[in-house]
Homo-oligomer: A and B are copies of this chain.
């Protein structure tokens, strides 16, 4: 998607409108509710028309996902603050944006090559370099992967784990005593903060 050139617009139906409506539709009905026909209908056009602006449905998802990344603000640099502050802020904003659109978790299995995603990745690399990591690749990928994994875990448990699953787990809790005692219904925000803290602490230790 990102590597193909854009066309010159005539501005009746624009890529921007398509993406905005796609995000709205995804928010309302989830990933299975996104159909080219339904999306076209909401835009007051035919499904065929979409294919002039977009090559496949995958393109729509790529664009929608990058729009979500765009919601995560890049932290402003405050001189004198410890290096991990902007990193923590970025990862938190990253996570929040994804959680605000839970369908995004289902769709994270694609390369994040949109401009918004790349800008945030670049920010992360720069922050780590400024912090004194000469080879920030491992740290950056770890942080990004951690956010991705955390969001997916949380969303799948929250969304899919309804009554049925809960009952099932508690019924057989005897088979998984430690998990049942400490793993069910976690405080997701706290869990994320804790894990991010571990990562950053380990990185701080390796830095010095």
User: Are A179 and B121 in contact (CB-based, < 8 A)?
Assistant: yes
Q: Which residues from B are CB-within-8-Å of A108?
A: 109, 152
Q: Does A125 contact B (CB under 8 A)?
A: yes
Question: Would you call B138 and A176 a contact (CB within 8 A)?
Answer: no
The answer to whether A85 has its CB under 8 Å from any CB of chain B is: no
B139 and A194 form a contact (CB under 8 A): yes
Contact of A198 with B139 in the complex, beta carbons under 8 Å: yes
A179: which B residues are within 8 A, CB to CB? 118, 121-122, 125
Partner of A149, one of B129, B149, B200, B203: B149
Is A197 close to B, CB under 8 A? yes
Whether, in the assembled complex, A147 has its beta carbon less than 8 Å from a beta carbon of chain B, the answer is: yes
State the oligomeric state as a number of copies: 2
A156 near B202 with CB under 8 A, answer no
Does A79 sit at the interface, judged by CB under 8 A? no
- Interface membership of A161, Cβ < 8 A: yes
Assess whether B198 is in contact with A168, with CB atoms less than 8 Å apart.
Answer: no
Q: Which of B126, B146, B169, B197 contacts A145 (CB 8 A)?
A: B146
Q: Which single residue of chain B is at the shortest CB-CB distance from A147?
A: B149
Q: Which stretch of A19-27, A69-77, A182-190 is in the interface?
A: A182-190
Q: Is the CB of A138 within 8 A of B201?
A: no
A152 to B178, CA, bound (A): 27
18 contacts between A and B (CB under 8 A): A110-B156, A111-B157, A113-B165, A113-B169, A119-B176, A122-B179, A137-B182, A137-B191, A138-B186, A138-B191, A139-B194, A141-B186, A142-B150, A142-B191, A144-B149, A146-B195, A195-B199, A198-B198
Interface residues of A (CB under 8 A from B): 2-3, 105-106, 108-111, 113, 118-119, 121-122, 125-126, 129, 135-150, 152-153, 155-157, 160-161, 164-165, 167-169, 175-179, 182-183, 186, 190-191, 194-195, 197-203, 205-206
